[in-house]
Amino acid sequence: MIVEVGHYALVLALALSIMQAVLPFWGARAHDARMMGLARPIALTQFAFVALSYAALTYAHVVSDFSLVNVVENSHSTKPLIYKISGVWGNHEGSMMLWVLILAMCGAAMASFSRAIPPRLFADALSVQGVLGTAFLLFILLTSNPFTRLIPAPIEGQDLNPILQDPGLAIHPPLLYLGYVGFSIVFSLAAAALIGGRLDAAFARFIRPWTLLAWCFLTLGIAMGSYWAYYTLGWGGFWFWDPVENASLLPWLAGTALLHSAAVMEKREALKVWTIFLAIVTFSLSLLGTFLVRSGVLTSVHAFASDPRRGLFILAILVVFIGGALFLFMLRASSLKQGGLFAPISREGALVVNNLLLTASCAAVLVGTLYPLLLESINGDKISVGAPFFNLTFGPLFAPVLILAPFGQLLAWKRGDLLAAAQRLFFAAGCGLAAMAVFAAVNGAPVVAFIGSGVAVYLIIGSFVEIFGRVFPSGLGATKNAFARARGLPRSAWGTAFAHAGLGVTLLGLAATGWGVEKIVAMKQGDIYDVGPYQLEIVALTTDQGPNYSETTAHMTVRRDGQTVALIAPSKRFFSTRRMATAQAGIVTLHFGQVYVSIAEPNAQGLIDARLYWKPLVSLIWIGALIMAFGGTLSLSDRRLRVGVARRAARIPASAQTAG
Amino acid sequence: MTRKQKRLALIGSAVGVLGLALGMVLFALRDNVVFFYGPTEMVEKHVGPGVRLRIGGLVKTGSLVHLAGKSISFDVTDGKAEVPVAYTGLLPDLFREGQGVVAEGALDKKGVFQADSILAKHDERYMPREVADALKKQGVWQEGSAGAAEKTAGGAQ
């Protein structure tokens, strides 16, 4: 019964989405305020129905209703509750449901929190959101219906892929989808602005909070996915340049560019056309990612099932939305008025350079991701484009961003002084060089590792130079009122500093992987192995029974200079329903580095094949991402960015007004 | 500078950066792309030693030999041709005789494929798509076989 309610709610949501697509748009053309006014209640109701439907599916998973194909194929009565709930999106149909749920949520959020947006733009934007909802709800109902029944119902389900039975599944997909789909709001607003043909600085104020929000979630989602892969795949890698990962990196790069160009547009009314273009491109890349992952053109742990109809349907959605938006852009772009002037050496100029480098690196990743697919469809050759390609292209294109980021913060709007900015960065550059020398002396080769670390230190310190200059305008001696000045600075200035510094922290973690130690050994109880500065020993081997798996665990001590500093317990789990094993790495974080051990089943002689790693500073990779998202959140809390309160910003002390 | 000159400078630098990116992409694509072949294709194309490749097929039953240390050797087959493979290191959990495998590495002078990484499938139900395609090309793959396995594993239908 509840399942039928859920199914019916989904169909109603489709009907509502069609209404949301048509009525406000029509109202805006017919100058009918009542029809335009329908946009908000329809968006909210549509969200309610999608949520109801989603809840019904979750209920079916929780009570193990095996009369649903979706539950049979992906659940098992002994599965722990958390995986029954998160397992809802651990399969194709359910993950599309989550997609649509978040899409509807974005529509509802836009409807609720964007009251300052001009009514016509607002109606058109929600209407575009409605078209998106219609397309994806149709996709679910026609090709991927999670409510399909199975009669007669089997007694037991086939269980969820063990790799997905991990807390990572509860966190990574929702965060990533909030990022991906969050950009739909920006896309809808951009499309609506193009339809309306009017574009001013206020537009940038409308899209900036949504861009920031989606960007923060996407940053966290990518970082979480990477950490999950790192601890679950058992060989210590965290980024594989796999097409599925690239699919999430592409909108991140475009979204980062958008964030920066929207700042220029808001402050100076320049780069308007470019900002609109990026808004379209960013969400288009999210759609492309969905296509790559969900259509089955790639094989990966993310491609749950492949059915050619699904691939074609998503491809059609992709073509219609990206093609439609770009066509609209082509028609209207020339009629948009040019904005403010600026000298090449200025904050705007720096942000243009940032945008160029980010989009160029984004394009390089795009080519590397799509080229194999293209080549295979043209002449059937199968190739893989791996890390060497991306290191050669993405690396050099992104590296200047790391050097130039602090410069951008120090240049004034309109016309900046490069020499003065460089002088203010002397200290940061000095620290970077010193760090480089120290790292080279202590840790030695590889060269990339200590150069990267030096650049990272420069970037972290350089990110705060601008803030420092404003908190201590006359040097460290004048500490009077420093705290008040720090508080008075706009949150977005702090946000920028933290986000840039977070990038530096991530870079430091990445560079330090060069000093990692890896050992592959056949261990038995009592053997002691050195990994980096630590000694590892297996003290006991146990076999346990989990809820739906059996587990062999090696209990190991981690010692340094004779002192036990930690205990780790890498294990191997065997899931009987799917006859499949997973490795649970034993990890301990010591001084931001990690000792990482993964084991295989003991063999006939009682030896255990094990991979032992010491990864110095590796946790900084993800801590950096957290700092970036924290910076984004700080910016988001800046009152200037909140839609509708822009006028009140004038009350902030004049000294704090020059900030970006 | 006038407005026009400024815009030209902007467009010029944009074209410059994108051109540079394009150049790097083309350069990197020439040398850093790894082709995927099945055993039959490898024989047909007369692949020379030292060229980085991915090969895929089934681990031939009865060919797996454990050598000293962590070294192993086995044959990859698609039913028509076979390629001997040597590998040193840890094997994936689901590496077994008769199962699908993808190996990355290069041929040595003796015609043995020296693999530096071995990928096996993630679970019992899944065959690497490249391997399935390579087997299909040789007519060895039967569409039903994977489906049948799925049904017995599921026991639901």
Specify the number of domains making up chain B. 1
User: Does some domain include residue B85?
Assistant: yes
Cis peptide before A152, with omega less than 30 degrees from 0? yes
Q: Is residue A401 part of a domain?
A: no
Same structural domain, A576 and A455: no
Contacts of residue A373, Cβ cutoff 8 Å, sequence gap at least 6: A243, A297
Phi, psi of A179 (to 5 degrees): -70, -55
Whether residue A158 and residue B153 make contact (CB cut-off 8 A), yes or no, is yes
Domain assignment present for B9? no
Q: Please report the pLDDT score of residue B131 as a whole number.
A: 67
Q: Which pLDDT belongs to residue A299?
A: 54
Alpha carbons A493 and A347: distance in angstroms, whole number: 13
Is position B145 within any domain? Answer: no
DSSP character at residue A639: G
Sign of CA dihedral A339, A341, A346, A349: positive
Considering the domain boundaries, does residue B12 fall inside one? no
% chain A with pLDDT above 70: 94
Collect all residues of chain B within an 8 Å Cβ-Cβ radius of residue A579. Answer: 124, 153
Q: Do A578 and B93 touch (CB under 8 A)?
A: no
Domain housing A499: 425-514+620-656
| Whether residue A370 has pLDDT greater than 50 | yes
Per-residue pLDDT of chain B (157 residues; tens, 9 = 90+): 677 777 787 788 888 888 888 888 888 887 778 888 888 888 887 877 888 888 888 888 888 888 776 788 989 888 888 889 999 877 776 677 877 788 888 888 888 899 888 876 544 444 566 666 666 666 655 544 433 333 323 322 2
Domain count, chain A: 3
Hey, is the C-beta of A357 within 8 angstroms of any chain B C-beta?
yes
What pLDDT is attached to residue B139? 64
CB < 8 Å to B14, chain A:
356
If asked whether residues A27 and A117 sit together in one domain, one would say yes
What would you measure as the largest C-alpha separation in chain B, in angstroms? 78
> Above 90 in pLDDT, residue A403?
yes
Query: What's the average model confidence in pLDDT over A19-44?
Result: 93
The CATH number covering residue B116 comes to: 2.40.50.140
Please indicate, yes or no, if residue B146 is contained in any of the structural domains. no
Asked if the structure places residue B3 within a domain, the reply is no
Interface of A with B in 311-350 (CB under 8 A): 341, 344
| Predicted pLDDT at A159 | 83
- CA A58, CA A85: separation in Å to the nearest integer? 6
Task: Kindly state whether residue A176 falls inside one of the protein's structural domains.
Answer: no
Could you give the count of Cα atoms lying within 13 Å of A214 in the half-sphere of its Cβ? 34
In the predicted structure, residue A102 carries a pLDDT above the cut 50 = yes
Give the pLDDT of residue A96. 93
Which residues from chain B sit within 8 angstroms of residue A348, using beta carbons?
Answer: none
Q: Are residues A605 and A569 in the same domain?
A: yes
In a domain, B17, yes or no: no
- Check B32 against A385: CB less than 8 A apart: yes
Closest chain A residue by Cα to residue B3? A341
- Mean pLDDT in chain A? 88
3-state class (DSSP) for residue A594: strand
Let me know whether A468 and A562 are in one domain.
Answer: no
My answer on whether A581 and A644 are in the same domain is: no
In this structure, is residue A600 part of a structural domain?
yes
Q: What is the mean pLDDT of residues A571-578?
A: 83
Testing the interface with A: which of B24, B41, B66, B121 to mutate, by most A Cβ within 10 A? Answer: B24
Same domain, A155 and A57: yes
Window A:139-178, CB contacts with B under 8 Å: 150, 154, 157-158, 161-163
Q: Do both A468 and A588 map to the same domain?
A: no
Confidence (pLDDT) at B26: 85
Q: Measured between beta carbons, which residues in chain A are less than 8 angstroms from residue B21?
A: 360-361, 363-364, 393, 397
CB contact under 8 A, A381 and B6: no
Largest CA distance in chain A: 82
Q: Do A366 and A289 form a contact (C-beta atoms < 8 A)?
A: no
The answer to whether residue A315 sits within a structural domain is no
Using a CB-CB cut-off of 8 Å, the residues of chain A touching B3 are 341
Which of these, A104, A192, A188, A187, lies nearest to A140 by C-alpha position?
A104
SS3 call for B10: helix
The pLDDT of residue A656 is 42
Structure confidence by residue, pLDDT tens digits, A475-527: 776 677 888 888 888 898 999 999 999 999 999 999 999 999 988 888 888 88
- Bridge-based pairing of strands B82-88 and A563-568 is unpaired
Specify the pLDDT at position B94.
Answer: 67
Q: A121 and A40: one domain?
A: yes
Residue A291 lies in a domain: no
Report the C-alpha dihedral over residues A176, A179, A185, A189, rounded to 10 degrees: -130
The answer as to whether A195 is a domain residue is no
B42, amino acid identity: M
Q: Are A162 and B33 in contact (CB < 8 Å)?
A: no
A396: which chain B residues are within 8 Å (Cβ-Cβ)?
24
| Residue the block writes with tokens 């259509």 | A295
pLDDT score of A509: 96
Q: Can you give the pTM of this predicted structure? A: 0.90
Task: List, for residues A248-276, the tens digit of each pLDDT value.
Answer: 999 999 999 999 999 989 888 888 889 99
DSSP-derived pairing of the beta strands A608-615 and B113-120 = unpaired
What does the pLDDT average to over A594-614?
A: 85
d(Cα B26, Cα B23) in Å, to the nearest integer? 5
> Quick check: A658 pLDDT over 50?
no
For tokens 């790069």, what's the residue?
Answer: A253
Of A157, A356, A384, the CB nearest to B34: A384
CB contact under 8 A, A385 and B29: yes
Residue in A with minimal Cα distance to B29: A389
User: Higher-confidence residue: A645 or A58?
Assistant: A58
Give the model's pLDDT for residue A165.
85
Residues A106-125 as b/e (b if ≥16 CB within 10 A, e otherwise) read bbbbbbeebeebeebbbbbb
The answer to whether residues A11 and A153 belong to one domain is yes
Confidence of residue A306 (pLDDT cuts 50, 70, 90): low
What confidence score (pLDDT) does residue B20 get?
87
Note whether residue A591 is domain-resident. yes
One domain for residues A610 and A643: no
β-bridge pairing A571-575 and A550-560: antiparallel
Residue A453 and residue A587 share a domain: no
pLDDT in tens, A406-454: 999 999 888 888 888 898 899 999 999 999 999 988 888 888 999 999 9
Q: What is the mean pLDDT of residues A84-110?
A: 94
Same domain? A44 vs A131: yes
The answer to the question of residue A470 being in a domain is yes
pLDDT, position B37? 84
Output the pLDDT for position B148. 32
Q: What is the pLDDT of residue A354?
A: 93
Q: How confident is the model at residue A302 (pLDDT cuts 50, 70, 90)?
A: low
Cβ contact, residue pair A364, B6, below 8 Å: no
* Residue B54 host element (H or E): strand B52-59
Closest by Cβ to A72, choosing from B126, B128, B156: B156
Question: Per-residue pLDDT tens for A224-233?
Answer: 999 998 988 7
Give the structural domain span for B99: 37-138
Q: Give ipTM to 2 decimals.
A: 0.74
> Is residue B65 situated within a structural domain?
yes
Taking alpha carbons only, the member of A615, A616, A586, A618 closest to residue A599 is: A586
Query: pLDDT category, A296, cuts 50, 70, 90?
Result: low
Shortest CA gap B127–chain A (Å): 9
Distances (CA, A) of A615 to A356, A512, A527, A590, A592: 34, 8, 21, 10, 9
